[in-house]
Amino acid sequence: MTRYVMSIDLRRCVGCQTCTAACKGANATPPGIQWRRVLDIESGEFPDVRRSFLPIACMHCANPPCESVCPTRATTKRADGLVAIDYDLCIGCANCVMACPYDARSIVHEPKYAYGDTPMASEAKRFDPDRIGVSMKCTFCKDRIDLAARTGQIPGVDHEVTPACVNSCISGAMQFGDIEDPDSSVSRLLGETQHYRMHEELGTEPGVYYIWDQS
Amino acid sequence: MSMEAAQSKSVKHVPTYCYNCVSGPDFMCVKVVDGVATEIEPNFAAAEVHPAKGKVCVKAYGLVQKTYNPNRILTPMKRTNPKKGRNEDPGFVPISWDEALDLVAQKLKAVRAKGLVDEAGLPRVAVSLGHGGTPSNYMGTFPAFLAAWGPVDFSFGSGQGVKCVHSEHLYGEFWHRGFTVAADTPNCRYNIAVGANVDVTGGPCAVIRHADARVRGYKRVQVEPSLTATGACSAEWVPIRPKTDPAFLFALIHVLIHENGLAKLDLPFLRDRTASPYLVAPDGLYLRDAQSGKPLVWDEVTATAVPHDTVGARPAVAGSYRVAHAVVVDADKERREYFDVEGKTAYEMLARHIDKYTPEWAETVCDVKATTIRRIANEYLEAASIGETIVIDGQTLPLRPVAVTLGKSVNNGWGAYECCWARTVLAALVGALENPGGLVGTTVRLNKSRDNRHLSVKSGEDGFMVQYFNPTSKEEWQSSPSTRNLHQTLVPIVGHNGAWSQALGPTQLAWMFQGERPDDWSMPMPTLPDVWIVYRSNPSISFWDTRHLAEVAARFPFMACVAYTVDETNYMADVLLPEATDLESTQMIRMGGTKYMEQFWDYKGVVLRQKAVEPQGEARDFTWITTELAKRTGLLDPYFGAINKGVSGVSPLKGEGYDFSLDPASEADPEQIWDAVCRAASVTLSEGREEHDLAWFREHGFFAVPMSRLEWYLTPTMEKLGLRYELPYQERLLRAGRELGRRLHEKKMNWWDEQLSEYTALPEWHDVPGRWIRNLEKAGAKLEDFPFWLLTTKSMQYHAGGNAAIEVMHEVAQNLRGHAGVIMNAKTAAGLGIAEGDRVEVRSHIGATYGKASLMQGIRPDTLVIIGQFDHWATPFAKGMNAPSLNTIAPMSLDLTDATGSGADIVRVGVRRMEVPA
Amino acid sequence: MKKSVLRASDLAFPKQQRNWDWRAASNFIAGGAGGGLLLCVALAGLDAFPARVAILLGLILIGGGLTCVWFEIGRPWRALNVYRHFATSWMTREAVVALTVFAAGGLALLTVQPLLVVLAGIFGLTFLYSQARILAANKGIPAWRHPRSVSLMVATGLTEGAGFLACVASLASSASGFWFMAGLIVLILTRAFLWKAYLGALVADGAPEAALTVLRGTDARFVVFGHVLPAVALAALMAGIPGQAGLLLAAGIMMVASGWFLKFTLVRRAAFTQGLAMPHMPVRGRGTAGPAVKPGWKAMSGVSSG
């Protein structure tokens, strides 16, 4: 079995939003819609203050609450661990948006462009009417993972088949790969670090691991 | 995208570079679908040669929008409203390229007819370029045109000198050929970052290196009034009172010298590589050998004073010694003779000087606990691991993995000299200066060769490397300025190395003196240039007192702007020339080796920026624009001559064994020019083994050859040449200041006297923040009305990118706290009745700026911070952001200008909640 | 498109959900009451006319709610896809049950056949239960996902249905005897108990502070107007004071209105998302890890509220 997961090393992340922008570019999301973003979190009181950066997106849960509530089977958990949405089935009921405890999903009800009502050439080229009125979220760059299945390339190793955010990250915070493969870079890194998954108490079994210290 | 895939006919990944900020170049690919740029991607083909593994930062991901932004200027335009001003609609109307170029060429030809220099001795043509030399990576062959032209005034800055790390540029290059100075992060273990916001401004190379270092377990202590992203990623945050950094650094030196002592410091380094043993006379000048004039040291072997370079001598580093006979050389080469005089070593002078700057004293100044200062100093010393070595390419070098790095506003304006000096001394004391792990310079700009700082190290006076100060002698001093910022007249250390020296002069003086001048001004009255050309620069936003600056800009008689959109500066232009932007045009530049910030690589080479997509509208490649201007002004011969010399490229087009030089008569088009540059670059880099044309580079993107890491460190070169760093004592600066003072006073000018006080051999604390308070009070304002310090800080999304018009940058930047707002301490805000998101007015004694309050704990209660520089009123999209800017309310003032001509981004302000929510 | 107006400092905090607006809330408000009403009709043994009125009202409420939802979903013309996931989706189940409700309810309306009325009542209850489970399945909204929300939603649906029935009965001057009144009081007391149990458990188990603030803010009004006053009115009726029709109508209206107020509050105002948290702040170099942070939640030991 394969289960693709992502690890995010919070020690490395500088909150630069390069992954946010790269994701927007790679997935042509409209203004205001971010399938991933990096949060800027502060705690403590002056002068004893901590500030951390927390990249968030779909956690591609092993037990995805969005999948079970979906009335259309548009949201499915794939055999390789990806949680996917079939835009042709989705009715945009937003039940999955409510079910997700990670604020990962959104629905865009009408086209929107960066500069007013008219799309730029780059926006027009990539506008996908299928994505209007349906639930959207990070796909782990599904097309790339599917390409890997065809070419035999390895996600997380071969850049062509690795999610855009991971490729773009300038601090090297993100790794992607098969956690079932003990030799994958993700498995090895998780083996030598302390990490957590977001809201594990909810039983969602997220596929994103946050590294916060060495073992 | 299924739709995209179904409709697509062709998909290309075009390799190119991003150099939107000084921390470039970085690699990227442009994904082009059916001729439309759709995405920016890393260029993993460069992963091996590039420290950042072929990646670009967030800014580059805005370049697709930059290309297709509907607000772009896409045809040449001319102004139809002769009146200029913020409230005057310029009435730009489209014109043909022929008409536009003829308009500019006509003005230029008129200048040539009148003479390149006007009656005041100032160039009739002025050029303003944007941030940190980055425009040169986009302006193609324009440098060759400027070289062909003759004298040009680069005085009208857009922030250079006051928004950069100005003092580091000048003093860093002076002391260790470090125009920019960095920690040797790959080897560093302890970094005291005083305001150095490297995780924001250092580019991908710095970000990955510091991330690696964190995981490896280095310690970075961030000393700054607000908790920036870099501070957030540091092991410790020390919230220091603004502009008191010199006191903090002096106290660190105090702990090293007085609480640890010479025995724990790097004695051999101090003895052999610095001027620590040089004997100083009671009058503060070096004691010199009467015959040779060389500075004397006390030889412990013979117990006599001998010239510093005496073979076999073992100079004493500390102590006082009686010298039988010596001379000193004062200003204007005045010699005085001494007999049986006491000479203290320079180190001894330092030790006595620093004695009073205890951690307890610093606590009262900096609001940092003495115990913290002491602990940090001791951690620094321990981490320096004096005695440890490292082998690099077979050579054993000291490993001194500690560095003090400085940020903007620490590093410019009053107090910056002291900070630069102190941090360089801190490096020298532990032998970390230009040694592995320590503090390294990464490029030179005021010296040649710009691409190899080691070549700029040549033997000069007194055992130091050669310096090219602007002369201050009676005979050679430039009493009538040759530029409007008076850089050669007022700032010896900035030198006269072309545009760089000019641009690092006191650029605010060029703006200020167009209005009022000091009463005792006795030089020719500064004129306005006949022609002002502006590229990638928006001083009406990026300098200070921007409302007033825009009024000055409106008075320039003729202004031609190479324009992207309408902006606050080109609003006053007579002609707008739309250039093909980042993804639409071609240029080759150098990469790697050692460059700005943390761009020191294991490779060096060249990288091509290429036309990934056709230019929008009538936008044209800057090289085409330049060639046309050269043609229309009759300068084709010298223009191509300059190109052939390598002025706009990376190597001369003709050299040993190759000749790709261009015939001016051929009027080579941009493709032909860059083809020749590609060939020359690959031949020279490969030492004749490989020749690659433009087509090859279009496919491969770059060409690199390995480089030894030894080139990162200057100390081995200094050792090879037997040279010493000019530290810790600053006799040369002392003398230069004295001479400069004499010259100015001879001209009956005293308006620069305060600046002359900075010329000291050992910097003193002089209540740096108090200068801003005194300036306020001098202007008739009351301190109690302006109880806060307002600072600014950069963001990676916008830093130097000129990209305020890009929607996606605004969107992603909003994920960060305080962006486009006024950051203030939550408790302070509560006391003022200000809640998160409230619209607030931030007022200085010259004006007000407005934004939403962003409350944080990670900021001192007495400090406000505004990120970036916005407050646009003409730039499409940006003008709707309603973001505040320090620049609007920071005054330009002679009082706030230091001896190098720089100022700092800091101003006293009051803040209040606006009654009507916006 | 709903444009985000969130500030960076808010992004990690629980946020009021913005995807289900009044249209979706209407489905829970009206549909739940309709389902409850159908069951109450089945249990009340009304005369033919008032039974028909009540059944018709129940079907209108359910149909109206579903229509509102239809106007809210992003792709209304493929709404029939809603039937594709009976295995786990309570929304699919609700849609399936809605068919049975309309089939049985329609026939009951025509025939007033007791068996069909009872069937319609059972399906109405099932519809109501499905709605309660739709909310509870949403792990992203702590105020919904709490297990006690199911019984509360069912209880309020029934109470609202009974309220409607009381209104119909009063307007139709239909018999409303002692046991009818007693039944209403029992329902009211049950809902009050379940509300208190829900709120107490939510506070104890943890929820976003913003959600708790909203719910606590509604507590007194909900209890007084939804429970105390109608119960007093009904008790007075049972004691035989005059003005039966008016009092019964007033009690019914209060039972309905308070339930709708509760559901609007739950579905819209108290529907704060989980938010994001950092159980560990990262260690930067030789620094130390900061304390855990869970913005917008009550500080627990070792956890900062951010």
- In tens, the pLDDT along B311-369 reads 999 999 999 999 999 999 999 999 999 999 999 999 999 999 999 999 999 999 999 99
- The gap from C-alpha B781 to its chain's centroid, in whole angstroms, comes to 32
Nearest CA of chain A to the CA of C122: how many Å? 23
Binary contact (B815, C11; C-beta < 8 A): yes
Q: Is the pLDDT of residue C6 over 80?
A: no
Stretch among B242-256, B612-626, C162-176 having the lowest mean pLDDT: C162-176
Of the candidates B20, B13, B7, B9, the residue with the CA atom closest to the CA atom of residue B38: B13
* Range(s) of the domain holding residue A138: 4-214
pLDDT, one tens digit per residue, over B401-440 is 999 999 999 999 999 999 999 999 999 999 999 999 999 9
Q: Is the pLDDT of residue C302 over 60?
A: no
pLDDT, one tens digit per residue, over C92-112 is 999 999 999 999 999 999 999
C-alpha R_g of chain A: 17
Q: Which of A7, A37, A38, A43 to mutate to test the interface with C (most CBs of C within 10 A)?
A: A43
Of the candidates B156, B63, B16, B138, the residue with the CA atom closest to the CA atom of residue B607: B16
Beta strands B219-223; B190-194: pairing state: parallel
Of the candidates B717, B468, B497, B446, the residue with the CA atom closest to the CA atom of residue B725: B717
Contact call for residues C21 and C269 (beta carbons, < 8 A): no
Q: What is the share, in percent, of chain C residues with pLDDT greater than 90?
A: 84
Per-residue model confidence (pLDDT) at position B916: 58
Nearest CA of chain A to the CA of C129: how many Å? 15
pTM exceeds 0.80 for this model: yes
Separation between Cα atoms, residue B634 and residue B664, nearest integer Å:
11
Nearest CA of chain B to the CA of C214: how many Å? 21
| One-letter amino acid for residue C112 of the chain | V
For the sheet with B219-223, list strands across it. Answer: B236-238, B219-223, B190-194, B402-406
Mean pLDDT computed over C44-61: 93
| C220 is a domain residue | yes
Contact call for residues C183 and C162 (beta carbons, < 8 A): yes
Residues 6+ apart with CB under 8 A from A125: B4, B33, B34, B36, B38
* Range(s) of the domain holding residue C178: 18-301
Q: How confident is the model at residue C171 (pLDDT cuts 50, 70, 90)?
A: confident
Provide the greatest CA pair distance for chain C. 81
Of A30, A33, A43, the CB nearest to C290: A43
Per-residue model confidence (pLDDT) at position B515: 86
Q: Is the ipTM of this complex over 0.95?
A: yes
Which element (helix H / strand E) includes B40?
Answer: strand B36-41
In 10 A of CB B796, how many CB atoms? Answer: 31
Whether a cis peptide bond, with omega within 30° of 0, leads into B25 is yes
Burial class, B184, CB count within 10 angstroms (exposed 0-12 / middle 13-18 / buried 19+) = buried
User: Mapping DSSP to helix (H, G, I), strand (E, B) and coil, where does residue B273 land?
Assistant: helix
pLDDT, one tens digit per residue, over A11-61 is 999 999 999 999 999 999 999 999 999 999 999 999 999 999 999 999 999
Per-residue model confidence (pLDDT) at position C9: 87
Per-residue model confidence (pLDDT) at position C3: 40
Residues 6+ apart with CB under 8 A from B135: B129, B535, B536, B537
Number of helices followed by number of strands (H, E) in chain A: 7, 10
Binary contact (B214, C11; C-beta < 8 A): no
Separation between Cα atoms, residue B707 and residue B210, nearest integer Å:
22
Place of tokens 């159980």: C279
Is some CB atom of chain B closer than 8 A to the CB atom of C1? no
Contact call for residues A4 and A209 (beta carbons, < 8 A): no
Q: Where are the alpha helices (DSSP H) in B779-846?
A: 807-813, 826-831
Give the tokens for residue B256.
Answer: 């090293």
Nearest CA of chain A to the CA of B298: how many Å? 49
Place of tokens 């702040």: C281
Mutual angle of helices B622-632 and B142-149, in 10-degree steps: 20
Place of tokens 């001048």: B517
Give the tokens for residue A98.
Answer: 């409510």
Binary contact (C81, A74; C-beta < 8 A): yes
Q: Count up the domains in chain A and report the number.
A: 1
Q: Is the pLDDT of residue B802 over 90?
A: no
Binary contact (A171, B211; C-beta < 8 A): yes
Per-residue model confidence (pLDDT) at position B8: 56
Contact call for residues B407 and B597 (beta carbons, < 8 A): no
Mean pLDDT computed over B194-213: 97
Q: What is the DSSP string of B205-243?
A: HHHHHHHHHHHHT-EEEEE-SB--HHHHTSSEEE-PPTT
Give the tokens for residue B851.
Answer: 């934004």
Contact call for residues B201 and B426 (beta carbons, < 8 A): no
Mean pLDDT of chain B: 96
Separation between Cα atoms, residue B542 and residue B162, nearest integer Å:
10
Nearest CA of chain B to the CA of C17: how many Å? 19
Q: Which residue of B has its CA nearest to C288?
A: B235
User: Which residues on chain C are in Cβ contact (under 8 Å) with A198?
Assistant: 276-277
Per-residue model confidence (pLDDT) at position C174: 62
Contact call for residues C252 and C180 (beta carbons, < 8 A): no
Q: CA torsion sign, B899 to B900 to B901 to B906? A: negative
Mean pLDDT computed over C269-295: 95
Burial class, B693, CB count within 10 angstroms (exposed 0-12 / middle 13-18 / buried 19+) = middle
Q: How confident is the model at residue C305 (pLDDT cuts 50, 70, 90)?
A: very low
Beta strands B125-129; B531-535: pairing state: parallel
Q: Which residue of A has its CA nearest to B368?
A: A47
Place of tokens 């998160």: B836
User: Which residues on chain C are in Cβ contact (under 8 Å) with B220?
Assistant: 284-285
Q: Count up the domains in chain C and report the number.
A: 1
For B231-265, b where at least 16 C-beta lie within 10 A, e where not — what string?
bbbbbbbbbbbbbbbbbbbbbbbbbbbeeeebebb
Domains in chain B (CATH in brackets) are 89-165+508-578 (3.40.50.740), 276-363 (no CATH), 768-913 (2.40.40.20)
Residues 6+ apart with CB under 8 A from C288: B235
Q: Which of B185, B219, B823 to mutate to test the interface with C (most CBs of C within 10 A)?
A: B219
In 10 A of CB B518, how many CB atoms? Answer: 13
Mean pLDDT computed over B69-92: 98
Mean pLDDT computed over B36-54: 98
Per-residue model confidence (pLDDT) at position B450: 83
Binary contact (C286, B217; C-beta < 8 A): yes
In 10 A of CB B757, how many CB atoms? Answer: 13
pLDDT, one tens digit per residue, over B674-718 is 999 999 999 999 999 999 999 999 999 999 999 999 999 999 999
Q: Which of B192, B220, B382 to mutate to test the interface with C (most CBs of C within 10 A)?
A: B220
Please name the chains neighbouring B, where neighbouring means 3+ C-beta pairs under 8 angstroms.
Answer: A, C
Separation between Cα atoms, residue B302 and residue B311, nearest integer Å:
12
Binary contact (B68, A9; C-beta < 8 A): no
Per-residue model confidence (pLDDT) at position B7: 55
Beta strands A4-9; A208-214: pairing state: parallel
Q: How confident is the model at residue C240 (pLDDT cuts 50, 70, 90)?
A: confident
Stretch among B94-103, B290-299, B792-801 having the lowest mean pLDDT: B792-801
For residue C33, the domain's CATH number is 1.20.1630.10
Q: Is the pLDDT of residue B597 over 80?
A: yes
For residue A135, the domain's CATH number is 3.30.70.20
Q: Is the pLDDT of residue B196 over 70?
A: yes
Task: State residue B635 phi and psi, 5-degree precision.
Answer: -110, 20
User: Which residues on chain B are in Cβ contact (under 8 Å) with C287?
Assistant: 219, 234-236
Of the candidates B144, B26, B23, B12, the residue with the CA atom closest to the CA atom of residue B607: B26
Q: Is the pLDDT of residue C47 over 90?
A: no
For the sheet with B320-329, list strands across it. Answer: B279-280, B335-345, B320-329
Of B217, B218, B837, the CB nearest to C7: B837
Burial class, B878, CB count within 10 angstroms (exposed 0-12 / middle 13-18 / buried 19+) = buried
Nearest CA of chain C to the CA of B415: how many Å? 29
Query: Which residues 104-123 of chain A have a CB within 8 Å of chain B?
Result: 114-116, 118, 120-123
